[in-house]
Amino acid sequence: MRVWHCPEGMVAIAANTLRILSLDKLGDAFNAEAVPLRYTPRKLAVHSVSGNLVVVEADHNAFSDEEKAHIYEVNGMAPPLPADAPMPDEEEAEGVVMEASIGVPRAPAGKWASCIRVVDPVKRETLHLIELDDNEAAVSVAMVPLRDRAGETFVMVGTVKDMTLHPRQLTAAYIHVYQFTEGNESLELVHKTQVEDVPKAMVGFGGRLLAGVGNRLRLYDMGTKKLLRKCELRGLPTMVATIHVISPSRVVVGDLAESFHYVKYQRQENTFVLFADDVAPRWLTASAVLDANTVAGADKFGNIFVTRLPQEVSDDVDDAQLLSSAAGNEAAALNGAPSKSEEVVQFHVGETVTSLQRVALGPGCSEVLLYTTIMGGVGALLPLTSKDDLELMQALEAHLRQEAPPLSGRDQLFFRSAYFPAKGVVDGDFCQGFNSLPAEEQRSIADELDRAPPDVSKKLEELLNRIL
């Protein structure tokens, strides 16, 4: 069977028949299934052995299930079905009220409801649920294979207790260690370790746990009764928001308000050394590693950027002189790292980006930088590997700015450069407007590009097909 694309759908040959497949609404999802959750999902991690998901959920100004049941009982009300309960059949639905429809009782500030859920993604079923009590809220989760336990994977969950958001205050914070039991379908608490600040980010590092505790980067080893601190880097500007392990000795740490910091782990000395950071402060909301020296990030003001470590700095990381000068510098909070990364991409999306992922969306598709936004938008940045494609798209974008300004009247380049001058990105959404122009304007722009209008439209469709 061979398949070709056509504007109205797909043309396919199967055996001795020619078939044209078309969809009424290309914007609709082919298939979508939702798994209802009790609270707002904060983080998730995948168990590599079973494929099950561990999701941590937390809601502010919310009561736990037991507290809500007590409130309903005191007020003489029948408790509604929880938001994560399966929908009843039509016969059973009469007189049944769902929390998703009527809402839940509102709790005062500083009150949290949270749980840890094990989900089978194939069956879309909840295998195990642990409700956190004592006003604890889960903020991070990580799957960590521990070398002291023969590579067995443990679930690390970071929690906070009695936290208020503005200003941020808390009475205690913990790192819970859970072990999989019963065929990797349930969790058992091994122990919990108290820490002094929010454990916002955690990741496995050489068979141990690398955690960001407030503005400290810590390396923990597994103990009998609690986690054992082995190494620590202090003095990061605000709070560790993300951690990416690039190699067994190099880590990229994303600070909550000061962008990325490049850290070298010296195994013999058992120390962390900060050797490079970013030139601009960024309030990070998401990040993704593109290669050994390149990291993509997004800030809460709607910007996507890519920062790259200069090759000469990357080559000289193992130089004793560079690391010794970095180790003796105590001004990390004032961007005091001896080296700086370079900004290679700047692009303003217009909405706060909540996640970034380097992924291929289908077999035969190119790898893209996929992002999602707080308003529910999904977008992708496609790398242009051909110089001809790059020059064509840049020229098309420039001509569209002159011939077809946006309907809102705001200049497209001014919008995409709202915080930083746009750099290294062609606005594909804007270029797609070429197909909606009148024929005369299309012909005028295509003549400037030494192309025919169908050729320009075909190139736009070809680039789109590389993504999906």
Structure tokens at 201: 């980010």
Give the burial class of 100: count Cβ atoms within 10 A of its Cβ; 0-12 exposed, 13-18 middle, 19 or more buried: middle
pLDDT single digits (tens) 350-376: 999 999 999 988 888 889 999 999 998
**Residue 109, in any domain of the structure:** yes
pLDDT single digits (tens) 39-83: 889 999 999 888 999 999 999 998 888 888 888 788 777 677 776
Widest Cα–Cα separation across the chain: 77
Q: How far apart are CA 83 and CA 101, in angstroms?
A: 9
Q: Within this chain, do residues 15 and 125 fall inside the same structural domain, yes or no?
A: no
**Residue 428, in any domain of the structure:** yes
Q: Within this chain, do residues 124 and 174 fall inside the same structural domain, yes or no?
A: yes
Q: pLDDT at position 179, please?
A: 94
pLDDT single digits (tens) 294-351: 999 999 999 999 999 998 888 887 665 555 555 544 444 445 688 899 999 999 999 9
Q: How far apart are CA 234 and CA 152, in angstroms?
A: 30
Q: pLDDT at position 332, please?
A: 45
Q: Within this chain, do residues 8 and 125 fall inside the same structural domain, yes or no?
A: no
- Return the higher-pLDDT residue of 150 and 212: 212
Q: Within this chain, do residues 50 and 180 fall inside the same structural domain, yes or no?
A: yes
pLDDT single digits (tens) 170-222: 999 999 999 999 888 899 999 999 999 999 999 999 999 999 999 999 999 99
**Residue 50, in any domain of the structure:** yes
Looking at the predicted structure, is the pLDDT value of residue 156 above 90?
A: yes
Q: Within this chain, do residues 105 and 3 fall inside the same structural domain, yes or no?
A: no
Q: Within this chain, do residues 121 and 1 fall inside the same structural domain, yes or no?
A: no
Tell me what the mean pLDDT of segment 235-255 comes to.
92
Q: Within this chain, do residues 49 and 182 fall inside the same structural domain, yes or no?
A: yes
- Are 57 and 42 contacting, i.e. CB atoms less than 8 angstroms apart? yes
Q: pLDDT at position 330, please?
A: 46
**Portion of the chain with pLDDT greater than 70, in percent:** 87
Q: Within this chain, do residues 112 and 4 fall inside the same structural domain, yes or no?
A: no
Looking at the predicted structure, is the pLDDT value of residue 25 above 60?
A: no
pTM: 0.83
Q: Within this chain, do residues 22 and 63 fall inside the same structural domain, yes or no?
A: no
Q: Within this chain, do residues 137 and 13 fall inside the same structural domain, yes or no?
A: no
**Residue 362, in any domain of the structure:** no
| Domain of residue 458, CATH code | 1.10.150.910
Domain that holds residue 17: 1-32
Scored b (16 or more CB within 10 A) or e, 347-373 reads bbbebbbbebeeeeeeeeebebbbbbb
**Residue 427, in any domain of the structure:** yes
Beta-carbon-side half-sphere exposure of residue 440 (alpha carbons within 13 Å):
0
Q: pLDDT at position 335, please?
A: 54
Q: pLDDT at position 334, please?
A: 47
pLDDT single digits (tens) 114-137: 999 999 998 888 999 999 998 999
